Chain A
Amino acid sequence: MLVFIIRRLTQSAIVVAVMSVLVFAGIFAIGDPIDVLISPEADEAERAAAIARLGLDRPMHEQFLAFAQEAAKGDLGRSFVHGVPALDIVLQRFPATLELALAAMLIAVLLGIPLGVWAGLRPDGIAGRTIMTGSILGFSLPTFWVGMLLIMIFAVTLGWLPAGGRGATREILGVPFSFLTADGLAHLVLPAINLALFKISLVIRLARAGTREVALQDYVKFARAKGLSARRVVGVHILKNIMIPVVTVLGLELGSVIAFSVVTETVFAWPGMGKLLIDSILQLDRPVVVAYLMVTVLLFVVINLVVDLLYSLLDPRIRLGGSRS
Chain B
Amino acid sequence: MNQDQPMKGQQIEAGAPLLRVEGLRTEFETRAGAVRAVDGVDLEIRRGEILGLVGESGSGKSVTGLSLLGLVDPPGRVGGRILFEGEDLARAGERRLRHIRGARIAMIFQDPMMTLNPVLSVETQMVEAVLAHARVTREEARRRSRDALARVGIPSPEERLRAYPHQFSGGMRQRVAIAIALLHAPALIIADEPTTALDVTIQAQILFEVQKLCRETGTALLWITHDLAVVSTLADRIAVMYAGRIVETGSVAEVIDTPRHPYTRGLINSVPSRNRRGQPLAQIPGMTPSLLDLPRGCAFRPRCPRAQEDCQEEPGLFGAGHRWRCFHPEPVPAMGPATEVRA
Interface band, chain A: 20 to 34
Q: Is the CB of A237 within 8 A of B117?
A: yes
Q: Is B77 positioned at the interface, with any CB of A under 8 Å from its CB?
A: no
Q: How many A-B residue pairs have CB under 8 A?
A: 95
**What's the minimum C-beta distance from A149 to chain B, rounded to whole angstroms?**
38
Q: Is the CB of A225 within 8 A of B71?
A: yes
Mask: chain A, 298-325; 1 = CB below 8 Å from B; 0 = not = 0000000000000000111100101111
Q: Is B172 positioned at the interface, with any CB of A under 8 Å from its CB?
A: yes
Mask: chain A, 207-229; 1 = CB below 8 Å from B; 0 = not = 00000000011111111111111
Alpha-carbon separation in the docked complex, A217 to B165 (Å): 15
Residues of B within 8 A of A133 (CB): none
Query: Of A230, A232, A314, which one neighbours B119 at CB under 8 angstroms?
Result: A314
**What's the minimum C-beta distance from A173 to chain B, rounded to whole angstroms?**
36
Residue of chain B at shortest CB distance from A222: B115
Residues of A within 8 A of B163 (CB): 325
Alpha-carbon separation in the docked complex, A32 to B125 (Å): 65
**What's the minimum C-beta distance from A180 to chain B, rounded to whole angstroms?**
36
Residue of chain B at shortest CB distance from A316: B164
Q: Is the CB of A317 within 8 A of B118?
A: yes
Q: Is the CB of A244 within 8 A of B101?
A: no
Q: Is the CB of A218 within 8 A of B164?
A: no
With A222-B177, A226-B180, A227-B103 as known contacts, state yes or no: A316 contacts B119, CB within 8 Å: yes
Q: Is the CB of B102 within 8 A of A219?
A: no
Mask: chain A, 104-119; 1 = CB below 8 Å from B; 0 = not = 0000000000000000
**What's the minimum C-beta distance from A213 to chain B, rounded to whole angstroms?**
13
Q: Is A240 positioned at the interface, with any CB of B under 8 Å from its CB?
A: yes
Residues of B within 8 A of A226 (CB): 101-102, 106, 128-129, 132, 180
Residues of A within 8 A of B99 (CB): 227
Which residues of B line the A interface, CB within 8 A?
66, 69, 71, 73, 94, 98-103, 106-107, 109-111, 114-121, 125, 128-129, 132-133, 163-164, 166-169, 172, 177, 180
A and B contact pairs by CB, cutoff 8 A, 6 listed: A219-B118, A225-B101, A226-B102, A226-B106, A226-B128, A232-B132
Which residues of A line the B interface, CB within 8 A?
216-230, 232, 236-237, 240-241, 244, 314-317, 320, 322-325
